C-alpha cells in the first residue's frame, strides 16, 4: 500500500463571496514531486497556504504526514520545509545567521550552515549580509532555509520565478536531490516547462478546481496532438508541412515527403503542458 | 509556549535592533541628551519672590516697597479666588489678602486681619521673608511696629525645607521620553516583520503567533526598561527606594510595549509607525509635564496611564514616598497595562492572519 505524505479531501476555502479553492481532492506519495499548475488567482497559493498550516480550510480536510493540518499544524510544521515565492529573509543578517535562526526555531543541534550553503552554491557567502545578495542568491538561500530541518515534505512556491538560468538550475538540482532523499515535494508554479521537467505528476487548477491530474506523459498522450512538423525548400523559400501521426495515410505522406521534397528540418510536435492547459480550460497559464 | 523559539526571536531582534543605525542613534542620543539636559539644568531654585496681593484698598506704602526691595514683585489680583488659584498653580510664592478696613484699623491702632496664602512647597525662609515684607509695609505706612495678626494657611503638601530643583522635577518626564523612544524601535521591528513578510516564514515553523508576540513583548520591555533604568541611575533617580522605582519602570516598559503594538498595527511601515508614535508620545508625556508644574494635577490627567508612572517616580525620588504611598499607582498602572497590551495584541493579530 502506498504511503501518502499529503491527502486532501474536499479542501475548500473562500474569501467572502469568492470561492478560491473549491472542494479539491488529491494526494502526494512519499518521494513524489507534484507540480501544482495554474494561472494567477486559480487557487494555487491558497491551497499551498492551507497545506502549510497558514490558513484553516473552510471545508474539507487535509492530512499532512498523517496529521490533520487544521488541528495539528505546529507538529506538522516541525517536519515540513516551506519556500515562499517572495523573498522574506532578514536582509540585515548574514546568510549563516538566517539559517541558524531557523535551525534554532526547529530545535536542531549541531546545525552545519556551511554544508547547506554549499548545497545551494553559496559556499563562502555565509558571513555576508543578505542585502548584498542578488535575487538568484537570495532565492537559493530561501531554498536552503526550507531545508534546515531535513523536511519530509518540501513546499515550494514558484522557486525559480524570475531567476537566471544558473540559479534556476541549481534550485532544480536541489529539488531532485531532495526527492532522491525521499522527501515529497509540492511544487506550485505557473512555469509549465519547469513542472514538466521536475514533476512526477501535475495537477491543473483553474477557478479553484482541479481540472486535470496525471503524469506529464499521460496528459500529453491524452490531450496532445501527435504530428510531424517539417520545414521544406520550396521555390527559393521555405514551406511548413504538418503530418498527423495517427492518420490512415501517414506512411504514404511520410514517404512522399522524403521522396518528393527537400526536407530542411523535421521533428515531432508534442503538446506542451500549456497547450494542454489551454485546451482543458480555454485560458493560458500566464493570464 | 515555545521558549526556545521565543529566545531565538529575542536574540534575532536584538541583533537587528543594534544593526539599525537609526535605532541605535536615537537610543544613544536620547540617553545622552536627557542626561546632559539634567546636569545642565540648575540644581537650585530661583528664589525671586513673586507675591500676589488682593487688596480692595491698597495702602500707599505698596509702591515704596515695590521699588525698594530687589527681587520682590508684588502682583495685584482681582479677587481672593484668583489669588488662591495663582498660589496653587505656582504663579506666586505667596498671596496676601488685605481686609477692606485695613487703613481704618491701622489708624485706630487695631490689628487688621491679614490672610497670607503660601504655595505648598514654600520653604520656611520664604515664609519668614514674606512676613518681614508685610511688617516693613506696615512700618512704611505707620512709622511704627505693625500691630497685626497673621494667619498663614498651607494649600497642598507642606514642602517646607524640601524645595525641589526643576531638574529633579523633569526626571519623570525623561523616563517617559526614554521609554517611549524604545517604542519606535519595537514598533519599527514589528512593522518591518509584516512589511517584509518575514513573519510568515517564522509562522511556518513550530513557532505560533502567541510565541511571536511574547518574544516581541519581552524584547520591548527589556529594551525600554534597561534604558530608562540606566538613565535614572545616571541622574540620581534611583537613590531612594530603588525597588519601587525599578518596578514602576518595568510597568512603564510594559505600558509602552503595548503602545508599540498599537502603533505597529496602525502603521504600514516605519514612517507611518513613527507618525502614529508622535501623538502617543505627546499624550503620554502630558502627566510628566503637569507634574513639573507645582500644585495639584487636574483630574483628567489621571486618565492617562503614564500619570501613575510619573507620579510614582516623582513622589519616590523627590519625597521618599514608600510602598504605602504608591501601591495604588502601581496597581492602576498594572491594570492599564493589561488593557493596553490586550488591545495591542488583538489589533496586531489581525495583521498576522
What ipTM did this prediction achieve?
0.85
pLDDT of residue A82: 95
Query: Å from B205 to nearest chain A CA?
Result: 5
Residue of A nearest to B205 (CA): A77
Beta strands in A16-135 (DSSP E): 18-29, 33-37, 59-64, 67-68, 80-83
b/e sequence A154-167, b meaning 16+ C-beta within 10 Å: bbbbbbbeebeeeb
- In the structure grid, which three cell numbers stand for residue A265, read together? 528540418
Whole-number Å distance between alpha carbons of A207 and A214: 19
> If interface means Cβ-Cβ distance under 8 Å, which residues of chain A face chain B?
52-54, 74-75, 77-78, 80, 82, 84, 86, 88-93, 97, 101-102, 104-107, 145
Mutate to test the interface with B, among A82, A90, A127, A149 (most CBs of B within 10 A): A90
More confident residue, B129 or A67: A67
Place of cell 488541528: A71
pLDDT of residue A42: 87
**What residues contact A138, with CB distance under 8 A and at least 6 apart?**
A87, A89, A130
Residue of A nearest to B9 (CA): A101
More confident residue, B79 or A101: A101
Whole-number Å distance between alpha carbons of B293 and B166: 9
Size of chain A, expressed as the number of residues it contains: 287
Query: Å from A232 to nearest chain B CA?
Result: 55
pLDDT of residue B75: 82
pLDDT of residue A130: 95
pLDDT of residue B247: 93
CB contact under 8 A, A101 and B198: no
Residues within 8 A of A (CB atoms), B 20-49 only: 20
Answer whether 0.90 is exceeded by the pTM.
no
CB contact under 8 A, A91 and B12: no
- pLDDT over 90 at A63, yes or no: yes
Shortest CA distance to A210 belongs to which of A87, A42, A32, A31? A42
Half-sphere exposure at residue A202, Cβ-oriented, CA atoms within 13 angstroms: 26
- Greatest CA span in chain B, whole angstroms? 95
Whole-number Å distance between alpha carbons of B32 and B38: 10
pLDDT of residue B60: 65
Shortest CA distance to A97 belongs to which of B108, B121, B139, B13? B13
Q: Which residues of B touch A52 (CB under 8 A)?
A: 204
Query: Å from A142 to nearest chain B CA?
Result: 10
b/e sequence B309-329, b meaning 16+ C-beta within 10 Å: bbbbbbbbbbeebeeebbeeb
CB contact under 8 A, B205 and A78: yes
More confident residue, A287 or B197: B197
Q: Is A3 helix (H, G, I), strand (E, B) or coil?
A: coil
Confidence of residue A199 (pLDDT cuts 50, 70, 90): very high
pLDDT of residue A192: 83
- In the structure grid, which three cell numbers stand for residue B76, read together? 495685584
Q: Given CB atoms, is B7 within the 8 Å cutoff of chain A? A: yes
Whole-number Å distance between alpha carbons of B161 and A277: 90
CB contact under 8 A, B206 and A75: yes
Which member of B15, B198, B203 has the closest CB to residue A54?
B203
Asked if A52 and A84 touch (Cβ cutoff 8 Å), the reply is no
Asked if A138 and A89 touch (Cβ cutoff 8 Å), the reply is yes
More confident residue, A86 or B172: A86
Q: Which residues of B touch A82 (CB under 8 A)?
A: 201, 204
A14-23 mean pLDDT? 92
Residue of A nearest to B199 (CA): A88
Place of cell 540644581: B43
Asked if A267 and A228 touch (Cβ cutoff 8 Å), the reply is yes
Whole-number Å distance between alpha carbons of A51 and B282: 46
Residues of chain B scoring pLDDT < 50: 160
Residue of B nearest to A84 (CA): B201
Whole-number Å distance between alpha carbons of B353 and A78: 20
Asked if A85 and A79 touch (Cβ cutoff 8 Å), the reply is no
Place of cell 463571496: A17
CB contact under 8 A, B12 and A78: no
Shortest CA distance to A28 belongs to which of A205, A218, A187? A187
Q: Given CB atoms, is B197 within the 8 Å cutoff of chain A? A: yes
Residue of B nearest to A103 (CA): B8
Which member of A53, A92, A105 has the closest CB to residue B5?
A105
A128-133 mean pLDDT? 94
A19-40 mean pLDDT? 92
pLDDT of residue B21: 82
Shortest CA distance to B337 belongs to which of B268, B247, B269, B273? B247
Q: How many CB atoms lie within 10 A of CB B219?
A: 25
Asked if A204 and A213 touch (Cβ cutoff 8 Å), the reply is yes
pLDDT of residue B182: 79
Asked if B85 and B99 touch (Cβ cutoff 8 Å), the reply is no
pLDDT of residue B200: 92
pLDDT of residue B69: 55
Q: Given CB atoms, is B210 within the 8 Å cutoff of chain A? A: no
Q: Which residues of A touch B20 (CB under 8 A)?
A: 92
pLDDT of residue A211: 92
CB contact under 8 A, A80 and B204: yes
A9-26 mean pLDDT? 93
Query: Å from B197 to nearest chain A CA?
Result: 6
pLDDT of residue B179: 85
A153-180 mean pLDDT? 89
Amino acid at each position: 500500500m502506498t504511503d501518502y505524505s499529503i491527502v486532501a479531501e474536499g479542501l475548500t476555502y473562500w474569501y467572502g463571496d469568492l470561492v478560491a479553492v473549491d472542494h479539491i481532492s488529491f494526494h502526494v506519495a512519499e518521494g513524489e514531486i507534484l507540480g501544482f499548475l495554474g494561472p494567477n488567482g486559480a487557487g494555487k497559493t491558497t491551497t499551498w497556504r492551507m497545506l502549510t498550516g497558514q490558513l484553516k480550510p473552510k471545508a474539507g480536510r487535509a492530512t499532512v504526514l498523517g496529521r490533520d493540518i487544521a488541528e495539528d499544524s505546529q507538529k506538522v510544521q516541525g517536519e515540513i520545509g516551506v519556500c515562499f515565492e517572495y523573498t522574506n529573509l532578514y536582509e540585515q543578517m548574514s546568510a549563516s545567521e538566517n539559517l541558524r535562526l531557523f535551525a534554532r526555531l526547529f530545535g536542531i543541534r549541531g546545525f552545519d550552515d556551511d554544508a547547506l550553503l554549499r548545497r545551494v552554491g553559496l559556499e563562502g557567502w555565509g558571513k555576508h549580509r543578505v542585502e548584498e545578495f542578488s535575487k538568484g542568491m537570495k532565492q537559493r538561500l530561501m531554498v536552503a532555509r526550507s531545508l534546515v530541518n531535513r523536511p519530509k515534505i518540501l513546499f515550494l512556491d514558484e522557486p525559480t520565478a524570475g531567476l537566471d538560468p544558473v540559479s534556476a538550475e541549481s534550485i532544480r538540482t536541489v529539488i531532485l536531490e531532495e526527492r532522491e532523499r525521499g522527501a515529497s515535494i509540492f511544487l506550485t508554479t505557473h512555469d509549465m516547462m519547469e513542472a514538466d521537467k521536475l514533476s512526477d505528476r501535475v495537477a491543473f487548477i483553474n477557478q479553484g478546481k482541479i481540472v486535470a491530474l496525471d503524469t506529464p506523459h499521460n496528459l500529453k498522450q491524452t490531450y496532445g496532438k501527435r504530428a510531424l512538423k517539417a520545414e521544406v525548400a520550396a521555390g527559393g523559400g521555405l514551406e511548413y508541412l504538418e503530418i498527423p501521426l495517427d492518420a490512415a495515410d501517414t506512411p504514404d505522406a511520410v514517404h512522399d515527403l522524403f521522396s518528393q521534397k527537400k526536407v530542411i528540418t523535421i521533428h515531432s510536435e508534442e503538446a506542451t503542458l500549456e497547450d494542454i492547459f489551454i485546451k482543458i480550460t480555454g485560458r493560458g497559464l500566464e493570464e | 509556549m515555545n521558549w526556545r523559539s521565543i529566545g531565538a526571536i529575542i536574540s534575532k531582534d536584538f541583533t537587528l535592533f543594534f544593526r539599525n543605525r537609526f535605532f541605535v542613534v536615537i537610543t544613544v542620543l536620547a540617553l545622552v541628551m536627557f542626561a546632559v539636559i539634567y546636569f545642565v539644568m540648575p540644581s537650585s531654585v530661583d528664589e525671586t519672590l513673586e507675591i500676589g496681593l488682593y487688596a480692595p484698598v491698597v495702602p500707599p506704602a505698596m509702591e515704596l516697597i515695590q521699588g525698594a526691595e530687589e527681587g520682590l514683585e508684588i502682583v495685584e489680583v482681582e479677587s481672593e479666588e484668583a489669588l488662591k488659584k495663582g498660589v496653587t498653580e505656582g504663579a506666586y510664592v505667596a498671596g496676601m489678602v488685605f481686609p477692606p478696613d485695613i487703613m481704618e484699623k491701622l489708624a485706630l491702632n487695631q490689628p487688621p486681619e491679614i490672610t497670607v496664602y503660601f504655595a505648598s512647597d514654600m520653604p520656611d525662609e520664604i515664609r519668614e521673608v514674606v512676613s518681614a515684607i508685610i511688617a516693613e509695609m506696615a512700618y512704611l505706612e505707620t512709622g511704627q511696629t505693625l500691630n497685626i495678626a497673621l494667619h498663614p494657611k498651607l494649600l497642598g503638601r507642606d514642602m517646607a525645607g524640601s524645595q525641589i530643583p526643576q531638574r529633579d522635577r523633569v526626571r519623570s518626564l525623561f523616563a517617559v521620553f526614554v521609554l517611549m523612544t524604545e517604542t519606535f524601535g519595537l514598533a519599527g521591528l514589528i512593522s518591518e516583520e509584516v512589511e517584509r513578510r518575514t513573519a510568515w516564514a517564522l509562522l511556518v515553523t513550530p513557532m505560533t503567533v502567541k510565541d511571536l508576540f511574547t518574544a516581541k513583548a519581552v524584547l520591548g520591555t527589556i529594551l525600554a526598561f534597561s534604558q530608562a533604568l540606566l538613565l535614572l541611575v545616571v541622574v540620581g533617580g534611583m537613590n531612594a527606594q530603588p525597588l519601587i522605582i525599578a518596578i514602576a519602570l518595568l510597568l512603564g516598559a510594559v505600558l509602552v510595549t503595548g503602545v508599540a503594538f498599537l502603533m505597529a498595527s496602525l502603521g504600514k511601515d516605519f514612517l507611518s509607525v513613527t507618525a502614529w508614535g508622535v501623538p502617543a508620545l505627546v499624550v503620554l508625556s502630558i502627566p510628566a509635564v503637569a507634574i513639573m508644574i507645582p500644585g495639584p494635577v487636574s483630574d483628567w490627567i489621571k486618565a492617562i496611564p503614564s500619570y501613575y508612572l510619573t507620579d510614582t517616580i516623582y513622589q519616590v525620588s523627590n519625597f521618599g514616598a514608600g510602598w504605602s504611598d504608591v501601591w495604588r499607582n502601581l496597581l492602576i498602572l498594572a491594570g492599564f497595562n493589561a488593557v493596553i497590551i490586550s488591545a495591542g495584541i488583538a489589533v496586531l493579530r489581525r495583521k498576522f492572519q
